Amino acid sequence: MIQQLGLIGCGLIGGSVALALKAAGTVRHVVGYSPSPTTTERARALGVIDTAAESALRAISGADVVLIAVPVAATERTFKTIRELLPPGVLVMDVGSTKRDVVDAARRVLRERVTQFVPAHPIAGKELSGVEHADALLFQGKRAILTPLPQTDATLLTKAEAIWRACGAEVRRMTPEAHDDAFAAVSHLPHLIAFAYFASILQQKEADEFLALAGPGFRDFTRIAASDPAIWRDILVSNREQVLAQSTRFRGALDVLERTMRDTQGEALEALISGVSQARSHWRLNKR
């Protein structure tokens, strides 16, 4: 049982963790802070947090668990703010979509307190951001990746795992490096492609006509293009090298397909598509 959760960042993810832990009866009291007082107040009004704090420091005061749920680029700043007043034994977690940079920042800023930090990345989200879309069921059946360091406190790591399980997530451990490589491939590059594809449509003079004709395939393919700009700016910049490497691989595969289309090699093209189509048909979300 968490006596007091200090929540820094009352957005979709932070708010959903608070609601999930409340629904599970795993937290007694949530003190929340967001840079915008309006957001903090809305979180309180919606019952996502119990007490609105006027600063990050106030939010963590008296907390036994601190959750930092801010865009990745604001994580280091948040570490700096809370470091001085962070008592020993308090668990600190983040929820960022990249882990190498967050772990580096934690090492740099938290220093000996880095043992209290458990880097976390819940694989869940919505295209709708903001606390008003926070949802106690957001993590149900989803994965939560933890990327502990060699010096991470074992008791706090176990506590972190219990918290994510209480939210309904299946917990998995990885190194920060393996995490960032994998998510560059299966999440960050798809977002970059979806942003670029949608931009290329918008740039055409027939954009309105095209968009009026687009069907369900387009809808699903571009759903992630509606994602939060500040969050994705941070992810793409912080995991840049891995994303660009994946993009190079993607362009290579696109080159091959286009060459095959140009050669009008119907059979070769069908064979290429067939391999992909079968693999995708067999893929299942969260398959063990």
Position 240 contacts a copy of itself (CB under 8 A): yes
Least separation in angstroms between CB 27 and a copy of itself: 25
Least separation in angstroms between CB 140 and a copy of itself: 12
Query: Angle, nearest 10°, between helix axes 189-202 and 240-262?
Result: 60
Position 285 contacts a copy of itself (CB under 8 A): yes
- Region of 18-26, 50-58, 79-87, 247-255 interacting with a copy of itself (CB under 8 A): 247-255
Q: How many residues bind a copy of itself (CB under 8 A)?
A: 94
Give whichever of 113 and 142 is closer to a copy of itself, judged by the CB atom. 142
Report the site for a copy of itself in 29-48 (rule: CB under 8 A). none
Q: x/- string (CB under 8 A) for a copy of itself, residues 252-271? A: xxx-xxx--xx-x-x--xxx
Q: Which residues of 4-32 are buried (b: 16+ CB within 10 A; e: fewer)?
A: bbbbbbbbbbbbbbbbbbbeeebbeebbb
Distance CA 264, CA 285 (A): 35
Q: x/- string (CB under 8 A) for a copy of itself, residues 208-237? A: -xxxxxxxxxxxxxxxxxxxxxx-xxx-xx
What are the CA-CA distances from residue 69 to residues 17, 74, 92, 213 (Å)? Answer: 9, 9, 11, 38
Q: Which residue has the tokens 């820094």?
A: 8
Position 192 contacts a copy of itself (CB under 8 A): yes
100 touches 235 (CB < 8 A): no
Give whichever of 152 and 242 is closer to a copy of itself, judged by the CB atom. 242
165 touches 24 (CB < 8 A): no
Give whichever of 30 and 225 is closer to a copy of itself, judged by the CB atom. 225
Least separation in angstroms between CB 102 and a copy of itself: 17
Position 135 contacts a copy of itself (CB under 8 A): no
Least separation in angstroms between CB 127 and a copy of itself: 7
Position 199 contacts a copy of itself (CB under 8 A): yes
Position 104 contacts a copy of itself (CB under 8 A): no
Report the site for a copy of itself in 66-95 (rule: CB under 8 A). 73
63 touches 201 (CB < 8 A): no
Distance CA 59, CA 43 (A): 13
Give whichever of 38 and 287 is closer to a copy of itself, judged by the CB atom. 287
Helix H, strand E, coil C: the string for 49-107 is CCEECCCHHHHHCCCCEEEECCCHHHHHHHHHHHHCCCCCCCEEEECCCCCHHHHHHHH
